[in-house]
Amino acid sequence: MPNDNLKAQNWTNGQGITAADLNGTARFGIPRLLDAFLEKLIPGPHGYAGIESNPLMQIGGLHGDNAPTGGWAYAIHGGSAYPRQGSGNDKIQIAPGTLLQKVGARTGDEASLLAYTFTGTEEVTIAAGDATNPRIDLVEMKLEWETGNAVSRDFKDSTNGALSTTTPSIHRRVLCTIQVKTGTPAASPAYPLPTAGFVPIAGVFVPQTWAAASPILIEDSNATTSLVLHDQRIPLCARAYRSIPRDWFVDTSAGVYALETRGRYVTAGATPSDIYALCPSPSRVGRVLGLKCYSNGATGVSAAIALKRFRDTNAGIALQDLNTLTLFSAGATWLNLGSTRRDFESTHATGAPGPVIAPSVGAPTVVGAYGPPVWTNGKRAIDPTDNSPDPTGYDRVEMAAVVMNAISTAGAVGMLTWIVAEGL
């Protein structure tokens, strides 16, 4: 079998010591932590938590061993180093926490997955809106090694004993560069691709004529006074959550829907209405990466199955379109049908507030394409402090949901599986 390329320095009594030996002693342990452990928690087709064979995990990496320049900012957990409003309405700030970036192929000599910890004060400024059309900007980061702390040191030549003085750099650390890549204004603006070597932390929808009049939003809006923040981080660790018909909001009145005796599936009557299947993840800081549906395909699936933001208040249920997509294509009986992040993030809903947003070049066929994300709170970004009750005094339920509202007569839908990246 081939040897593991992760290694440690080995010392022998009496051997000479070189700078390379000492550097190796300090550096070899870093790849063991980052490349051999955290890298394997990156969601990929052979991912984590019992979903190793799940074909929905087509993002960023193959079991963590992604391309030398993986295209994502990975978060330790969903609430770590998330983008938020900064010191002004035109500022995007990174909350305290750690982000990681894959910067090269694993060799064991250096970590190929670099980590940087933010203090919660780092922020960038978004330029004013175009006079005519909206645009999408990227808040992007680049991690790389840098040397510093130069000090004066005396050197003695090992051959002739000659003395000299120089100023080597004695410290080495990860440098983080954060910048804004400004998108191109258009009636239906498209996500720009990141600058070479950078990965996106966030997309920012900048309305036409925007001039920082109002606070930043994290849900789609028609307002021209506020930015809309799209959180583009990928938390480590993907988990599968199953949602069964007994957990759904289903109208079981005569002629609408019928729940199978054991609750295994729902069948449609003559006048089917909406079914609401809420995301079962207990976290409000997870990113939705994929969906599976168990259905009698040809009659049980329709184009009206869509991802929406769901709110249940004392005033009733309110829905907001997130993505317009035939989530599950019809097929043979009881197929295990699936939809991926790159599918539903490449089809920003025409019914959502604001203009249609196009994904970056190559979507949805390109694995690393960027588009409007879907988080478990039913929004485009997270807000861990968002625990407020609705205006009528009842705590609200607000989360991502699959809404099925045109299941064919005699069609049946059995179970949904949500693939969610939440972090450690």
3-state secondary structure of 28: coil
pLDDT of residue 103: 85
pLDDT of residue 179: 98
pLDDT of residue 408: 62
Query: Which residues are CB-neighbours of 308 under 8 A, at least 6 positions away?
Result: 319, 320, 321, 322, 378, 400, 401, 402, 403
Query: Which residues are CB-neighbours of 321 under 8 A, at least 6 positions away?
Result: 306, 308, 309, 349, 350, 351, 352
Read off the pTM.
Answer: 0.85
**Angle at CA of residue 159, ends 156 and 165, nearest 5°:** 20
pLDDT of residue 100: 92
pLDDT of residue 191: 92
CA distance readout (Å), 404 to 100, 150, 259: 37, 63, 15
pLDDT of residue 341: 74
**Adjacent-strand bridge partners of 404:** 275
Separation CA 268–CA 413 (nearest Å): 9
Separation CA 72–CA 49 (nearest Å): 21
Which tokens go with 297?
């395909």
Q: Give pLDDT tens digits along the chain (424 positions).
A: 444 555 556 666 666 666 666 666 666 666 666 776 677 777 765 333 333 334 444 444 444 444 445 678 999 999 999 999 999 999 999 999 999 998 877 777 777 888 999 999 999 999 999 999 999 999 999 999 887 666 677 777 778 878 888 777 666 788 999 999 999 999 999 999 899 899 999 999 999 999 999 999 999 998 899 999 999 999 988 888 888 888 888 888 888 888 888 888 888 777 778 888 899 988 888 998 888 777 765 444 454 577 888 888 777 888 888 876 656 555 444 445 566 676 777 767 666 788 888 888 654 445 557 889 999 998 999 987 665 444 444 445 678 888 876 566 566 778 888 888 888 7
Separation CA 99–CA 253 (nearest Å): 49
**Adjacent-strand bridge partners of 165:** 154
